[in-house]
Amino acid sequence: MTDSRSLWSLRVLALLLALLAWFVVSGEKREPSSEKLMASSVRYDLPEGFLLLERAEEVEVGVRGPVSKLRNLAPFQVDVFVKVPAQEGTVQIPLGPEQVALPGGLEVVSIEPNVLQLVLDREETNLVAVKPEIVGEPAAGAVIDDARAIPNRVTVRGPASRVRMLEAVGTTPVDLTGHALDFEEDVAVLPPDRMISIVEPRFVKVTVELSIPRARGADDGEGPASDGATGPEG
């Protein structure tokens, strides 16, 4: 008897759940639909060894669905996924609804722009010189004789077209203020732009050589000036 009651209870529960699901689904169908424009992030699937020089960070996606779902739809719930081909130069990629990730019950009605124009380049590493950044004025009238980085070359990585044209990279500033004698300072190596990274080393030692110019005639071995006159002869 107890087993029979339990079985009937489970059947009634299943029926109630089915009715609830039907009510929710039919309610959504009866609910008026609307459209909404969303600023959506573009996520790129890049082939290995390639970098994007130009890209679109966002596109505008038109979404249609029940008013209640659109009202609660947040920008982070809409993403556009783009698979990028292994091709150097300018590439045009058309966008379609199949590339948009959306919550269930919603559909894509538009994408603007519907074609992305991308610029790709191969990734490359290279050795380039380090040129220390020197600022300030030394003390006691000293002048700078030399400033060099140790090591004087570092490995950089970035788009091949930019890396090949790069002659040198700079450092964080080395300030001469208050210095009259030779000194050394550890500084960071700075990439020239966001597309190029410093691989190694990221820090170098800058050696600065200073000297104080001699006063004119101070160490030329000459004594006081003489007019060459002699006393009268006897």
pLDDT in tens, 165-192: 999 999 999 999 999 999 999 999 999 9
- Judge whether 217 lies within some domain: no
- Judge whether 25 lies within some domain: no
At 153, the amino acid letter reads: R
Residue 23: per-residue pLDDT: 55
Do residue 36 and residue 112 come from a single domain?
Answer: yes
- Judge whether 26 lies within some domain: no
pLDDT (tens digit, 9 = 90+) per residue, 32-63?
889 999 999 999 999 999 999 999 999 999 99
- Judge whether 20 lies within some domain: no
| Angle made by CA atoms 13, 18, 22, in degrees to the nearest 5 | 150
Q: What is the CATH number of the domain that holds 188?
A: 2.170.120.40
Instruction: Please say if the pLDDT value at position 193 is more than 60.
Output: yes
Do residue 109 and residue 49 come from a single domain?
Answer: yes
- Judge whether 86 lies within some domain: yes
Structure tokens at 127: 């050795």
Do residue 105 and residue 58 come from a single domain?
Answer: yes
Do residue 172 and residue 109 come from a single domain?
Answer: no
Q: E-strand spans in 9-69?
A: 33-45, 50-54, 58-66
- Among candidate residues 67, 88, 122, the one where a domain is terminated: 122
Q: What is the helix (H) or strand (E) element at residue 190, kind and residue range?
A: strand 183-190
- Among candidate residues 122, 155, 178, the one where a domain is terminated: 122
- Judge whether 55 lies within some domain: yes
Do residue 116 and residue 138 come from a single domain?
Answer: no
Domain extent, residue 59, equals: 31-122
Structural domain count of the chain: 2
Sign of the Cα torsion 47, 49, 54, 57 reads positive
Do residue 96 and residue 161 come from a single domain?
Answer: no
Do residue 117 and residue 69 come from a single domain?
Answer: yes
pLDDT (tens digit, 9 = 90+) per residue, 71-83?
989 989 999 999 9
Split at pLDDT 50, 70, 90, the class of 14 is: confident
Query: Rounded to whole angstroms, what are the CA distances from 142 to 16, 39, 177, 208, 215?
Result: 92, 59, 10, 12, 12
pLDDT (tens digit, 9 = 90+) per residue, 98-148?
999 999 999 999 999 999 999 999 999 999 999 999 999 999 999 999 999
- Judge whether 178 lies within some domain: yes
Instruction: Please say if the pLDDT value at position 217 is more than 80.
Output: no
Indicate the pTM of the whole model. 0.66
CB proximity list for 95: less than 8 A, separation 6 or greater? 59, 80, 82, 111, 113, 114, 115, 116
| Angle made by CA atoms 12, 24, 37, in degrees to the nearest 5 | 160
Residue 175: per-residue pLDDT: 97
- Judge whether 224 lies within some domain: no
Cβ pair 78, 63 in contact under 8 A: yes
Q: How big is the chain by its Cα radius of gyration, in Å? A: 37
Pick from 37, 44, 78, 94: nearest CA to 60? 37
At 188, the amino acid letter reads: A
CB proximity list for 149: less than 8 A, separation 6 or greater? 130, 131, 132, 171, 204, 205, 206
Q: What is the CATH number of the domain that holds 96?
A: 2.170.120.30
